[in-house]
Chains A and B, each alone.
Chain A
C-alpha cells in the first residue's frame, strides 16, 4: 500500500501570498498518477489536479501541480479568500487500495 504524507499539517497564510503544499509517497508513483482535491467545511471534495499536473475543468490557473517519483506539490499563486480549505492528495498508481494523504489545512 502506498502511503501519502502531506506537509505541513496546517499552514497559516495571508490572502495574496503564494503557497506550496507537499505530498510525499512511500513508493515511487509512476506516470504521475496523483490527484489533488480541495475540501471546504460541510462540502464534498472538489477535484483540482489529476495526473499530477493537469487542471480539472473549471479550476483557476492559480492552482498548479507538479512532481514525480515520490514528491509532488500543489502550488497556489496569489491566495484568494475562497482558497482557505483543506487539501488532499490521492494516488492511483498502485491500487487497490487507492489512498489519500491526511490533508493540509490552509488557515488565514
Chain B
C-alpha cells in the first residue's frame, strides 16, 4: 500500500525559503523508473505541476519556477524534499507530493496514481 504525506511550515514570510518534506511508504525510490512529483493548488484554483525526481536522481522542474525550485531525495529515509526560494503571497497554495503512475504491466508514466493529503502553505508577513 503506497502512502505519502507532506510536512512543513504552514506559514512563511515573503522572501523566505519554503522547505517541505514528503515522507512515503509502500515503494522505494531506488526502484528503477520510480519517481515522486510535487504539485500545488492555490485556493479555489487549478493544479500546477512543480517538478519531479526520479530513482536515478534525474530531476525535472516547471520552466516558470525552475530558478526557485530544488527537489532532493533521501532514499534511506524514504523522503523527498522540496525547496522553494523567495516565497511570495501568490505562492500560497496546498502543496502535494505524489507517486509517479505505474500501470498493471509495471510501466511507469508521469501521471500520478497516489497522492499525499496535501499541506496548505500561506505566505504572509
Chain A positions within 8 Å of B, measured between CB atoms, are 1, 33, 35, 37, 43-47, 50-51, 54, 56-57, 88, 90, 92, 95-103
Contact = CB atoms under 8 A, between A and B. Distances in A.
B90 to A, nearest CB: 17
Contacts of B113: 47, 50, 56-57
A9 B106 CA distance: 35
Chain B interface residue number, banded: 20 to 34
Given A47-B101, A98-B49, 13 more contacts: A35-B101, A35-B112, A43-B117, A44-B118, A47-B112, A47-B113, A51-B103, A57-B113, A95-B110, A100-B46, A100-B48, A102-B46, A103-B46
Contacts of A102: 46
Contacts of B103: 50-51, 54
A51 B110 contact: no
Contacts, number: 67
10 contacts: A1-B63, A44-B117, A57-B104, A90-B47, A90-B49, A92-B109, A96-B63, A98-B37, A100-B47, A101-B46
Interface string B28-67: 0000000001000000001111011000000011111000
Contact of B111 (A92, A97, A101): A92
